[in-house]
Amino acid sequence: MIKKSRWSKLNLIFILSIAPILGVFLQGILAILTGIEFRHFLTVTLFLNWGLAFQDMIRLKANGDYVNEIGSPWLIPMYLSNQAKVMNKPPIYAIIWTAACIFVFLTPSNKIMEFIWLLFN
């Protein structure tokens, strides 16, 4: 059984669950600042997700939690659902992450760029 840590209850795990949306906004900001097309920054979202997942695992280890039951954070939805299963919680963060990915994939990039442009002008 995994010891429940205070940090993993909400802070970083919630940010990880909405990371696909945050990554797209970061892509848009980089595209606006550099003048390079939006699609050239796709790896930003991927690395943001992986970075947050690995940071969550590091924090769990630092809090003394047994993370071998959770597995590797390379596959984010599996990591989130395994973490919820081990901690006896509902897999809401995995569901939110999946819904955020579906939202990002179904939203045209030109609409995202228009929205980001409106935010900064």
The tens digit of pLDDT for each residue in 26-50 reads 998 998 899 888 888 889 999 999 9
Cβ atoms 113, 31 nearer than 8 A: yes
Q: What is the mean pLDDT of the chain?
A: 84
* 52: in domain: yes
Output the DSSP codes for 5-35: PHHHHTHHHHHHHTHHHHHHHHHHHHHHHH-
pLDDT per residue over 55-64, tens digit each? 988 888 887 7
75-94: average pLDDT: 89
For residue 95, is it within any domain?
Answer: yes
Among 117, 107, 121, 118, residue whose Cα is nearest residue 45: 107
47 or 110, greater pLDDT? 47
Any domain includes 90: yes
**Residue 117: CA atoms inside 13 Å, Cβ hemisphere, count?**
10
Count: domains in the chain: 1
Residue 1 in domain: no
Whole-angstrom distance, CA of residue 88 vs CA of residue 9: 12
For position 3, what pLDDT does the model report? Answer: 54
Q: How far apart are CA 57 and CA 36, in angstroms?
A: 33
Domain that holds residue 102: 6-120
State the pLDDT at residue 76: 92
Task: Say what percent of the chain tops pLDDT 90.
Answer: 36
Could you tell me if residue 49 is inside a domain? Answer: yes
Q: Helical H runs in 1-121?
A: 6-9, 11-17, 19-34, 42-62, 76-86, 92-106, 109-120
